[in-house]
Every structure is written in C-alpha cells, then in structure tokens.
Amino acid sequence: MKPRLRDRLTSIAARTFPRSHRGDARVVRDCARDAVDARGPRALARESLAIAGAGLRVRLAMDTRDVRGAPWRPALAALTLPLAAALLCVWTFGFLPLYDHWPLGEGWALLLSGSVLALIGAAFAARWVVLLGAAAMFVAAGAPYVGYGTEKALSGTPTFFPGSGVDLGAASLIPALLLAVGALSLPRRPQRSLRTVLDRLLLGLLPTAVALVHLLPREAPQPTTSFVYDELPARGSSVAKPEVVFGPPYEFPQLTASKPLLTALGIALLVAVVLSWRASRTRPEAALATALVLVSVAWPLAWTMHGYAVWPQIIVPLGVAFALTLRAAHAARRSSGSAELSPEPAASPP
C-alpha cells in the first residue's frame, strides 16, 4: 500500500466536508488512515467512500438547516413589486397589439385591473390590495383552463392564450400565486412615506412604460379574412373555390407569444439573477426572491429555451434557483452570526 495513494484518496474524500467542519474532516480522515493501515489496501476504497458520504451528509444537514432558517418572509415581501410590475407589463403586451373591442371582456378587465391593483398595493406595501390583484389575475388567467368562457367558439372566448408559442396565460398562474403569497408576507403595519411609495410606483410602472413606447403607436387592426365554401369540389378537381369574406377586425383579445416580450423578460431575469447573486451576502432576501421567481417560471422558460419541450432545459432555471437559494441561505446564516449553527463539541466525529 503506497502511503501517498492512501493519503491522497482520503484527503480528496475529506474535502466533501464543509469548511466549517475542517477539524472534524481531519479527525475522520486520520481515523480512516488508521483503518487502512490496519486492514490493508482493500479497505481504502470503502473508507474513502465512507468519508465522502459522511462529508456530504454533514453538508446536506447544514444546507437544510440554513435553507430552513433563511429569510423567506422578507424575500416573499421583496418580490411583490417586481413581480407585479412584470405581470402588468405582460398583460399590456398582450392587450395593446390585438385588442380592438369595447367594452373589455371580463377576462381582460380582471387581468388589467388586477395587475394595476397589485402594483399599487406593492408600492404602498398594502397586503390585501396586492392579494386582491393577484387573485383577480389568477382567476382571469386560469378560468379558460377549467372551461369558463369556452362554451363559445374557442376564438370567441373572452380570454384565451394560444399555446402555439408560450402560453403566457398558463405561465402566469404560478407567478400570480407567488404574488399572493408575497402579499401575505408584507408587514401588517408598514411604515411608508410618500416619497418611498412614489419611488416604488414609478419603478413598478417603468417596464410598462417601456412596453408602451415599444408598442405605440400600434398598427391599425387587420380585418379578419374568412373563406366560405358553398359547394363540394367539382368532379376531377380537388379544390373547391372559396368565397373570400372580409370581416371586422378581430375583436377578441389574445395573448400571443411575443419575441420582444420574451426577450425583455429573459433579460430582466438574467439581470435579476446576476445582481442578486452579487448582492446575496448583503441582501440575501433579494437572492431568495429571484430564486422563487425563477422556480415559478421555470417551466415556460425551459419551454422557450428548448423551442417546444421542457426537458432538459428546465435544469438550468431550477439549478440557478437552487444555487441562489443556497448562497443566500449561507449568507443569511453568516450575517446573523448564529452561534447555534456552528458544530457543537458534543456532536464531533471520532
């Protein structure tokens, strides 16, 4: 048995222990070396694997403890404004280019008023207002999927989100739920100043303002074109001659996949990830909030990345969210300086 191989393998395995448990790692490693010396080289692989397993178990226990103790409530409260702003921007993108109908359908009325309400509530840190707005959006976006409003022809439903690209209606369901949970995490009696509220309101309206600049002035809506077949194809001919009918502009709202919107949302997410990753030591709640939003949109994001499927691209947003969560949780534990999380002498290894 070459001592160098033994030392190298056991040292590598001991690196699975977290830094805060270096002393424990050394004791376990040296214990394993004693065992390999006594039992022979056949014990080396078994001992090395056991060291690695023990280190990973310690790491898992620490991570679980840190994640449980992470500042989830402030994180949920922190995501209300950006999430409400993003949802208002999404609905604006869906509403402006295609809608040419008055009065509003109940779906659009709920979506637009809900997102505006949520944004105002987030600016004022008013939990029930945000909750009401989020609930309105959730109901409006989810209603067609449980059959509400689809008793008419599919194209005539008050709100329906075609799934040919990204079904933004379905994609907004989990973020709307997350917004509702975030609303409940807002403080019951927030300390708000007029300046702060105005700043938050302006910040929240900024994405929609940019969207309006992009979308307006919109093109005149195109009339719908219908092909009417009055008779069966003539004998020997495979195609019947249709009568082309030009109708009024398409009056029902749709939210089709929009490349600029998806690109903007992707860039916003990327910026949020980078900024909150860098600031996670000082503001762990921001990193946790970004992770939560990433998880809530992981499915449509992966769908967009792949083109028409989710696997395996969904690993990317979920993996980034996981890394953000761990980083923020560790940072929160370190910043709180909680002595109870450091290893106790009684729980030390052999």
Residues in the site for other proteins, rule: CB under 8 A?
A: 23-24, 26-35, 38, 43, 46-47, 49-55, 57, 344-350
Listed in sequence order, the DSSP H helices in 15-70 are 22-39, 42-68
Select 56 or 174, whichever has its Cβ closest to other proteins: 56
CB of 67 to other proteins, least distance (A): 20
The Cα 20–Cα 343 span in angstroms is 8
Element (H, E) at 303: helix 298-306
Beta bridge partners of 228: 243
Select 47 or 167, whichever has its Cβ closest to other proteins: 47
Count Cα neighbours of 32 within 13 Å in the Cβ-side half-sphere.
30
From residue 127, alpha-carbon distances to 54, 98, 132, 138, 189 in Å are 45, 32, 9, 16, 9
Select 57 or 241, whichever has its Cβ closest to other proteins: 57
CB of 36 to other proteins, least distance (A): 9
CB of 115 to other proteins, least distance (A): 50
The Cα 218–Cα 236 span in angstroms is 46
The Cα 88–Cα 310 span in angstroms is 25
CB of 54 to other proteins, least distance (A): 4
CB of 15 to other proteins, least distance (A): 13
Select 52 or 136, whichever has its Cβ closest to other proteins: 52
Select 53 or 249, whichever has its Cβ closest to other proteins: 53
CB of 144 to other proteins, least distance (A): 52
Work out the burial of residue 40: count CB atoms within 10 Å of its CB; fewer than 13 is exposed, 13-18 middle, 19 or more buried: exposed
Q: Among 78, 70, 76, which Cα is nearest to 335's?
A: 70
Residue bearing tokens 């065992």:
35
Select 54 or 98, whichever has its Cβ closest to other proteins: 54
